[in-house]
Amino acid sequence: MISQEKLQAILQRLRAQEGVRGVVVTTMEGLPLSSDIDPDTTESVAAIITSLVGKAMDAVRELKEGNLSFLTLDTSKGQINIAPEPKEGLILVVLKNNE
């Protein structure tokens, strides 16, 4: 499993980027591990993104397209970047504002 220090360093770097509104790390069980946004939103992000990742993984598997490595949702508010790390049992979620 990834060390806390390494994880924190990655999060620091992400948060420092321009336009980043929030960074959430959740387990594959939909439980948030780390977040810099309010608790209610964090809970929703963790639960709903985990569910989405599960479905996306199913779709990729069904289509025999290998493994899911990244998901991007373009929204009117900006972008949601989702990086599943099945080996770590984690999902990294980055919420960004429109440029």
Please report whether residue 85 would count as binding other proteins according to CB under 8 A.
no
Neighbour order of strands in the sheet with 20-27: 32-35, 20-27, 90-97, 78-85, 71-74
Environment class of 71 (CB within 10 Å of its CB; exposed 0-12, middle 13-18, buried 19+) = middle
**Least Å from the CB of residue 31 to other proteins:** 5
What mask, x for binding other proteins by CB under 8 A, covers residues 45 to 64? -xxx-xx--x----------
By CB under 8 A, residue 44 contacts other proteins: yes
Binding of other proteins at residue 12 (CB under 8 A)?
no
CA separation for the pair 75, 27 (Å, rounded):
24
**Among 13-21, 23-31, 65-73, 77-85, the segment contacting other proteins (CB under 8 A):** 23-31
Closer residue to other proteins in complex, CB, 8/44: 44
Enumerate residues 6+ apart whose C-beta is below 8 A from 88. 1, 2
Point out which residues bind other proteins (CB under 8 A). Answer: 26, 29-32, 43-44, 46-48, 50-51, 54
